[in-house]
Structure formats: structure tokens, C-alpha cells
Amino acid sequence: MKKIYLLIIVLIVIAFFSVIWLFYPRVKELPPTPKPVQKHQYAYKINVDSLVVVYGKVGNNQNLGSILNNYVSGQMIDRIAKETDNVFDVRKIHPDRKFARIVSKDAAPRTLYFIYEINDVDYVVYDFRDTLRVYVDKKRVVVKTRTATGIISTSLWNTFEDNNLDVNLGMKLSDIYAWTIDFYGLQKGDHFKLLYEELYVDSTYIGTDRVLAAEFTSNGRDFYAYYFSKDTIHGYFDEKGQSLRRSFLKAPLKFSRISSRYSKARMHPVLRIVRPHFGVDYAAPRGTPVVALGNGRIAEAGWKGGYGRFISIRHNSVYTSTYAYLSGYAKGINAGSFVNQGDLIGYVGMSGLATGPHLDFRVYKNGSPVDPLKMESPPALPVGKTYMQTYNQLVVQMKTKLDSIDH
């Protein structure tokens, strides 16, 4: 009987501890905490975790040799000058450009790399670790889409300055509409909207890139421009797919004023006699760049009496343009050489019979002078039927964005 009681007690104890085991709170085991991923430090795409980066700027009268003289051997500097000019010509190093040396953390630090920033994006790397290695690379560029608006009060240039806009963007705008809008004839109240791209490197603004779309209202008329690129077609077109580019520019220089227009009877400012003036005078500072009105071949380039330094361009069998009173010629401008539209050909001056710096610009059609400001020019090729559906979709998308921009 005692055995039965003992067995019952044992079973009760086992049951008691079983219940405690089932309901006793357990500590949940957590998975092991992963080790944090170590972020590596890079400069110019070079791992510099165990290195030191020393930055600097090229000083006046400094060259690569004087910069590296205390860090690498004279033999190495000589090798750079003689063996690597096909990668980068060291003679093109300019004052105030940034450079960097990447050195070791040894007791006696060694210069392992030298980097020269050619511009805000491109840089050249001199790798001294083993044998000399030189290569050119690019920084990562971030493109951001921006909008801009402006209302003309006096000039396009002043409008961009008044609105704290990059004046280079104004230059791009004048280039886009160079064949369709007379920027010397803008009126107060003319206005524009822009959709364009800005470029950033290391979160630093470095300039504007492409204008994607624009609406410019001048003299009560809306001019649209859409950038389109497909296969061999690229450029700016209007809402119907017609190119904004024309065979000739509206003017051969930018941001000047017209000091004298085309006239059959004008008092000559030097000779003080009334005589025809079959051209347009653009007053501009001495040295202002003058560009070719259109593609063509240089017929004359030299001194021409009262016209001073003179250039004549024959564009085709019909049109010729001339540029007078220049202060000098662009490199390679000689009789017989070919130029493209917009190529630099010379600089504004006051050579010859001129009272001040200006460009005397003339256009001849079939040998007879025509008023450059009233001359019509045939358009370039349109988008074409093959790409019109794609282009129309782009126009709808971009116009919606332009319409959403408030002045």
C-alpha cells in the first residue's frame, strides 16, 4: 500500500514540474547581431582608408615639375613629360586649378598618387606605386532638372542677371532662338519659360547643361523649342517638328547694340558725306568674338582700305557675308579655308575708318546688298515622318511641364 502512495506522490511531483516547464517564461534567443558594414573612403575613385589626401591649388608660374619636385624623383618628372603627353599635356596645367596628393601613412610618407583636376569634371591621375601609370577619369556628375522664368525689362542679359539666373543659360537660350527671334528687337514685357538641366559634382553646382524645352513670347507671338534626339536627328524643333535652326544666324555676335542700320543714305561718321550704308553696325567692346553667319568658304581675309581688317565668306552660289573693322582674326582664318556656322572668325575692333569699336556686317544676295535684319533664311530639316509620333509625345509631355510654370 505504501508503494502505491509513493508512486502517486512521484507522479504528482512529475506532473507539477511538467506544468512549470510548460508555462515558465523562456528567454527568446535572438540571432547574432551582424557586424556593421565598414564604409570605405574614396577620393578620385581610389580607396584611401589607410592613406592621406593632401589638397592644393596650382600657383602662378607653377608647373608639374615644381609641384612634384619635393615628392618624386627628377627622373620620374622627366618620364612624365616625355612619355605621357599622349594622355595629358602637362603644359596645359593652369594656375588656380585644384590638385591632390595621396600619400602613405608611413614614418616617411611617400606620394603614391598625384591628381590634377583638368576642369570641374575631368581629372588626370599619376600613379607612382609600382611603375608609372597615367590615366584620365571623370567625377560623378548629378543632373537635376530645373525651371526658370523671366520678363524682359531692358535686355535678355539684364533679365537673367535681375533674376539671379546663370548668364550662360541666357547664352544657350539665345543660341536656340538665334534663327527665329531678333534679340536686339525685344520689347518690354516679352517673357520666357525654361525647363533645363543643372550639373552638380560633390553637391557643388558647376553649371547648366541642356535646355530641354522653352517657351519665348516676343512681340505677342509664342515661340516653342523642344530638344529632340533620335538616331542621327538632334536639335531644337517647334511644336510642329520644324527645326529652329536656319541656314544663317540672325547676327554674327552676341549681346551688343545696333549703332547703325541698313540705309541708302547715311552721313558717314568720319568722311562727313552722305553715302549708302548697305550693312548693319553692331557696337560692341573691342575683342568681342565675331562668328560666321553660316557655313562657307573664306573668300577674303586681310586689310581692305577703309574697312580695315576684313573678312568675306561665300556661303553658296547666292549668299556672301562680310565683316569689317576687325581688331584681329581667329586662328586658321585664311582665304580658302572652310568655316562652319557659329565658328569664331575674328574680333570686334576699330581698324580702318572707324570712330569706335564696332562690327560692320553686310550680306549680299546674288552680288547685291540686302538688309541683314530683314533677310529670310530657309529652315533646316524637320523631325521627319518616321519619328513624328515619338516627337509629338515629347511635345505633349514638355508643354504640360512648361504650362505648369508660373511667371
φ and ψ at residue 8, rounded to 5 degrees: -65, -40
CB 182 within 8 Å of CB 228: no
Distance CA 327, CA 307 (A): 11
**pLDDT at res. 398:** 97
DSSP H/E element including 291: strand 289-291
**pLDDT at res. 274:** 47
Q: At 356, list the grid cell.
A: 569706335
**pLDDT at res. 322:** 97
Q: Which domains does the chain have, with CATH numbers?
A: 42-138 (3.10.450.350), 142-237 (3.10.450.350), 257-370 (2.70.70.10)
Distance CA 184, CA 280 (A): 12
Does pLDDT of 192 surpass 70? yes
**pLDDT at res. 221:** 92
**pLDDT at res. 316:** 81
**pLDDT at res. 29:** 55
**pLDDT at res. 232:** 78
Measured CA angle at 167 (ends 291, 235), to 5 deg? 60
Task: Give percent of the chain above pLDDT 70.
Answer: 86
CB 331 within 8 Å of CB 309: no
Does pLDDT of 259 surpass 80? no
**pLDDT at res. 265:** 47
By DSSP bridging, strand 111-117 and strand 122-127 are antiparallel
**pLDDT at res. 107:** 84
Instruction: Please compute the mean of the pLDDT values over residues 177-205 and round it to a whole number.
Output: 89
Region of 31 on the Ramachandran plot (φ > 0 left; ψ -120 to 50 alpha; else beta): beta
Distance CA 311, CA 345 (A): 8
pLDDT tens track for 19-78: 555 555 554 555 666 666 667 899 999 999 999 999 999 999 899 999 999 899 989 999
DSSP H/E element including 325: strand 319-329
**pLDDT at res. 7:** 62
Q: Using alpha carbons only, how large is the chain's radius of gyration in Å?
A: 35
Q: At 241, list the grid cell.
A: 517638328
Place of cell 535652326: 245
Instruction: Please compute the mean of the pLDDT values over residues 90-117 and round it to a whole number.
Output: 93
Q: At 317, list the grid cell.
A: 552660289
**pLDDT at res. 378:** 67
pLDDT tens track for 304-345: 999 999 999 998 878 899 999 999 999 999 999 999 889 999
Does pLDDT of 380 surpass 90? no
In the chain, what is the straight-line distance between the N-terminal and C-terminal CA atoms, in Å?
106
**pLDDT at res. 266:** 47
CB 352 within 8 Å of CB 324: yes
CB 363 within 8 Å of CB 321: yes
DSSP assignment of 259-273 = EE--EEEEE-TTT-S
Q: How confident is the model at residue 372 (pLDDT cuts 50, 70, 90)?
A: confident
Place of cell 580695315: 308
Does pLDDT of 187 surpass 70? yes
Distance CA 274, CA 266 (A): 5
Nearby residues of 158 by Cβ (< 8 Å), 6 or more positions away: none
**10 Å Cβ neighbour count for 230?**
13
Helix/strand/coil for 195:
strand
Cβ-in-10-Å burial (0-12, 13-18, 19+) of 34 comes to exposed
Helix/strand/coil for 148:
strand
Does pLDDT of 188 surpass 60? yes
Give the mean pLDDT of the chain: 87
The pTM (predicted TM-score) of the whole model is 0.68
